[in-house]
Structure formats: C-alpha cells, structure tokens
A and B are shown apart, each in its own frame.
Chain A
Amino acid sequence: MPGVSAMQDTLYQQAAVEYAAALERLARSYEADPEARRDLLQDIHVALWRSFASFSGLCSMRTWVYRVAHNTAVSHVVRERRRRGQIMVGLEEIEETAAPNSDSTPDRAQRLDQLLAMVRMLKPLDRQVILAYLEDMEAGEIAEITGLSAANVATKIHRIKNILARRFQAEQ
C-alpha cells in the first residue's frame, strides 16, 4: 500500500530528526561499547521505521518513539546480559548504597560518566523511569511509556531525586 508506506516514511523522518539526540542518549545509557552502541542505535531506527506502519496516533509521537526505543533496547539488554553475565540492580538498592567518595570535585565530564555508570547498572524498568525523568518528562507521560501506574512512577521519581541529590548535588 503506497499510502501507508509514504506515511510511514514521513513519520519516521520526522521522528528521526526530532528525537535523534534523545535516541542517542538512550542508546548510550543501554550500551557502553561504542561499536555495539552504534548497532543498537541502528536497530532502534529500524524498529521505529517498522513501527510507524501501525502508528494510529492514539498516543503522542514522543510516547510512541520512547516505547519502541526502550523496548528495542530492553531486548538488547536481555540478550547481552546472558552473554556478559552483567548484574543489574533496582533503584532501592542504589538508594541504599553510599555515594562513591571522591577527594577531588569531579568536573562535568566526570559527573556525566558517573551518571551514565549508575544508569547502566539499573534494571530496565527503573532505567526507563530515570531516563525519562532526565529527559524532562512528566510522571503521566512516563507512566504511559512504561505501563507503570502514575503513583508508582511518582514514588520512583522521588527515589531518583534522592539518589541524584546524594550522589551529584553534594559534589557541586
């Protein structure tokens, strides 16, 4: 059907431009290895293009893009974790662990590295919530992306703020 295909192409191009940076940040938070990250990002773009064949506009394009991107990244994490034997933790466990001690004040790049390292340790659902929070999304939209209840998202955001405050605010 040429109509659907043309619409699919248009939607994809629109999303690829509008969310290029956000998708790259998302891929960075799921994969540390540059080569594997490039593959993951390409897989996300392919999944997005495919998904637009069935985009009905029932949710916003932003919600759609993040759902598809996160789901592709989750499949990647599940596959890679079996290979690498990586251990992931929940927000609660991160909250209970002490912030890493450092004698010197970390610069912006170091703080970004610390943030990335922490995000990459998280279980997929918690990782999605923190990423959406860092991307400035509201609790309602995060709930729509993750499928968690708004109350649950609010609790998680509260935890995230605590963690970020303890780990990053104190270092300013």
Chain B
Amino acid sequence: MNNPMDDVKNIWQDQPLEGTTMSLKQVHERIEKLGRMVRRRNLIGGFACITVLLGFSWFFVALAQPLERIGAALTAVGAGYIMYQLVSGKMKKQRAAVELQAEASLAFYRSELQRQRDFHQGMWFWSRMVIFAPGPFIFLLGMAQANPALTRQALVEGAITAALLIWAIPKNLGLAKRFQRELDSLDSAASN
C-alpha cells in the first residue's frame, strides 16, 4: 500500500512546471539590468535630494529674514539626513544580503526583521524627527514675520506639517511593534 504522504509529495514534485532556468549569459544580463535599475533609482533619489537641498539653500542665501534663513538651513540639513538614512539603510540591506545569503534561514530572516524594526524606532526614527522637524516650523515662522500678509498661509502649512509629523510617530512605532511581534513569534517558533 502506498504511503499517503508519498502521494502528497508526488503531487508536489510532479507538478507541471515551465522549465525555467538561466544560462550564465542570462544571469550576467540580469545583473546588468538590476544594476541599471539601481542606478536609475539612485539618480531619481539623488535628484530629489539635490532639488530639496538646492531649493532651501537658495532660500538661505536669498532671504533676508534670519528666522527664514535658519529654517531653510535646518530643513536642508533635515532632508539631507533623511536621504542619508535611506541610502545607508539600503546599503546595509545590500551588504546583509551578500554576507548572510547562505546563512541558515532563521538568522537571515531575523536580521531582515531587526533591520526593518530598527528603521522605525529608537535612534534611527527619533533622530530623523528631531533633526527634520524644527526646520519647516522656524521657516514658516520667519515667513510670517517677514510677510504678515502670509501669516494665515504659514499657519495652515504649519498645521499640515505638524499633523503629518504627529501622524508619523504612531505609524512608525506601530510598524516597529509589528516587526517586534514577528521577531518574538520567530523566536518562539524556533524554541518550540
């Protein structure tokens, strides 16, 4: 009599496949394609970063009101810092993918979850908030002082910025908690 488990295994192993495999040439082509995609993404990201930096640097140079200038400088620094975090986070991920790619899956998955969790909490998250948050408010305050007619606009923009920053706190901490829960469940699955 057949072992019933063998039957399930046969269904699995004999499933119809497309017969996809890759020659060395195709692997190298794929690596080149991936490289082009990464370069294009970096170019777009870099362009956005430089636009923000140049925009606020221009405000810093062109505006006369001291608060506007300080706000512009801080916003440029904050945007630069966020870009730095995104780029270094991506590099860390790429390094881990190479270094840990042949590690046992448990270690690999754990490091992946830890990296994602850390991005949304602790030093990584709070330093982003502390460095980025003051710039736009100081800039808007300066704008309202320099042009009292724009006070209403500055208030609306300030309220929107504050709402977005406040929303980002529970959103990020919630994500960090979710990753921590997954880490806990991974550890419990590993110790069962």
A residues within 8 Å of B by Cβ?
A: 9, 12-13, 16-17, 20-21, 24-25, 28, 38, 41-43, 45-47, 49-51, 54-55, 64, 67-68, 70-72, 74-75, 78, 90, 108, 111-112, 115, 123-126, 128, 134-136, 144-149, 152, 155, 161, 164-165, 168-169, 172
* Main SS class of interface, A: helix
B103, A136: Cβ atoms closer than 8 Å: no
In the bound assembly, the distance between CA atoms of A55 and B27 in angstroms comes to 18
Chain B residues 1 to 34 lying within 8 A of chain A, measured CB to CB, are: 4-5, 7-9, 11-13, 15, 17-24, 26-27, 30-31, 34
A54, B102: Cβ atoms closer than 8 Å: yes
Chain B count of residues within 8 A CB distance of the other chain: 43
A49, B27: Cβ atoms closer than 8 Å: yes
Which residue in B30, B31, B106, B116 is a CB contact (below 8 Å) of A148?
Answer: B106
In the bound assembly, the distance between CA atoms of A33 and B83 in angstroms comes to 32
CB proximity of B119 to chain A, nearest CB, Å? 12
A24, B101: Cβ atoms closer than 8 Å: no
- Contacts A112-B11, A145-B104, A161-B5; A21 near B30 (Cβ below 8 A): no
Q: In the assembled complex, which residues on chain B have CB atoms less than 8 Å from the CB atom of A55? A: 102
- Contacts A46-B30, A126-B189; A135 near B13 (Cβ below 8 A): yes
- Contacts A25-B12, A112-B11; A146 near B22 (Cβ below 8 A): no
B residues within 8 Å of A by Cβ?
A: 4-5, 7-9, 11-13, 15, 17-24, 26-27, 30-31, 34, 97-98, 100-109, 112-113, 116, 185-186, 189-192
- Name the residue of chain B whose CB is nearest to the CB of A65: B102
